[in-house]
Structure 1
Amino acid sequence: MTTPTAQIFGDTPPPERNSRAKRAGPPVPPDPAETANIIDGQDRSFARIEDAHYVLSVPNLGIVLDIEHVRVERHQMHGELTVLCELPGARTFNNVLITGDYNLSSTAARSSLVRYLAPPNNARGVSDIDWDSLLLELSCRAIDAERAGSPAVLLRDVQPRGAEEWHHVFGFALPRRHPAMIFGDGDTLKTYTAGAIAVELARRDVRVGIVDWEMTEEEHQARVARLDAAQLDRIAYLSCARPLVHERDRVARMIRDHRLNYLLCDSVGFGCHEKLEAAESPMVYFRAVRSLGLGSLHIAHVTKSDTSDDQKPAGASKPFGSAYWFNSVRALWFAKRADDGLDRSVIDVGFYPRKYNLGGIAEDVRFALPVRRAGHDGLADRRC
């Protein structure tokens, strides 16, 4: 009796398997019509918006990949990614398809995001996008841009700075590209002087932004209107409640939206994320300031005990007694009342230079300001 053992374990495969192998034949290439992607042939645009902020877009399809706050964490590059999509059927909120932290260095993160964008999470049209290709391009371009940074230059090719590098206002020489500071006791008209500087700059077609932690937009509007109401449309205002390092994106948006050239920040104490005396505080604060890319004037309120430095005849030499605050600005003035406070019709205040390391010698600035107390709002009208 013949057993089926030879048929099962023999050298000749079962007939059914042989027939399948013959029917399979050589691999058939996929149909190009089935694999064509709707982004093929579409123009893509990659741009650096500012430091650590990049955008990859497909304008004809209304697709934008916006990544900001790019930084290195544990040897990998991360950022906050927002994908905007205007395709019909896209499940979006205000055209936002997805937003969240994204690891530019991780293939697993990219694959996970691509799966999220596939059905059933999104409509067919959105899923037809080659998201893997777009995310790969964004990752490569952003990583390359961060690693390249700003190119080195030969000093012979640098254009020399001229007088236009300064804003000369009421005796103050304010750097156009660097931070300056006025510090002093709380009754020395620092904020009001800064407001008058803003109005004068606006008269010269310099668009100024006020970054404020202390007052309200109505109070600033009233002050500017008393000085020169015609400049109200040239001065932008932003009220802040958090440290500058956390408000930085809002400030940058104000700068872009209103095309600003100069900032006034009032005041430093509220804009710090740590104690003013801590060495880290001025470093974090001015790192955020410099990332904004324009000149600025900062107001710092110090206590009377901080202004009792006997080494200087007109008062303190450093804000908060800190070398870090002193070294972080390019121009620095100390504000001090010169009047005895008995004559309430006049305020005599002086601004004494403590640092001016961009050329030249700064001189004292002194105002004798008549005070007219009038109006239902009870605000003093102090005119320079």
Structure 2
Amino acid sequence: MGFFFTKKDDSDKESLTEKLDECAGQRQLFQQALKSLLVLIKDFSFDIKELDADKFKKQMDTLSGEFSLSNKISRIEAAFDSGKDAIINYINNKKSYFKERENELKSIIDLLTKGLSVINEENIEFNQKIYDKSIAIGNITLLDDIKKIKDSIKSEVEHMQVVIREKQTSGQRQIEILTRELNALKCDLEKAQTASMTDGLTGAYNRLAMDNYLEKLVDKSVISNAPFALLMMDVDNFKKINDSYGHQIGDSVLVALIRQCKELIRKEDFLARYGGEEFTLILPNASLKNAVKKGTEICRAIELSCYVLGEKFGDQKLSFTISVGISTFQKGDTVKTVTERADNALYLAKKTGKNKVVTEKELK
């Protein structure tokens, strides 16, 4: 018995290739959709300390990374089960938290209701005084002597005016006290919010504010592909400045750098102190070309500036320079990856001469 072999038609191979390409495309689409959904779930969370929102957001970032990098179904299933439990637990904790807050609000409403009843009692007392005076005025009509009538009316009117003035003074005093207390609370809250997000020395945003802002930009870019550029800036030879002139002059150098940068950036740009003498500048909706232009402009402005050190140093003048590393958001980026590229570009700028701008394209 013989075996017969038939040659497969090339059209079958093409059909199989098309199906494989279609499957790969669908897989990428599903991955992107899942990542977008996880970003939206992160937005659903509230930055409330008791709910540990930061931990939840990191769990969602980890889950998003698993969907992007893993090809094994078993690993994806395990990641999904873990992520699903995290989401359910967070939602349940959120419900419990808001239920507790609801009960607290009910207690506050009860207190306010009691407070209003006290105010109402004061109003009742005031109304009663006015009513008694009206009865007294009415009784004056029973008098026969015109002079007595006039004197009585005058006396009762004066008493009424005293009662009204006392009520007005009391009410105005209460309003003024409450207004002062509310304004003080509002001012303290604004100061606390600003202090928690601002670097105390330079007035730029701090590392926490930068991390939060960058995370929001990355999440937004995952959904809408909105571009942004990240500039990492570092003062050249900063240790030498501190060693030669002291930390006070070193601090003044950092303050001067931030002041100069603020004069050269847009209102929507985000300037932050990353740590030590290192700063970040985030440019929303900026291309790599735009970022290089801005980084070069800042470099040159700093290089050409001169700072007088004061009488202690004989009015000696100090100049310094900075190095800049630049990255831009790429598809699939995380906060870590886009920051690492900018940091690596900055390291290359320092290594190859300083006082220059290096981009992620120059990294090997």
| Same fold flag (TM > 0.5) | no
**More helix per residue:** 2
**More strand per residue:** 1
- Tell me which structure has the larger Cα radius of gyration: 2
Normalised TM-score (structure 2): 0.23
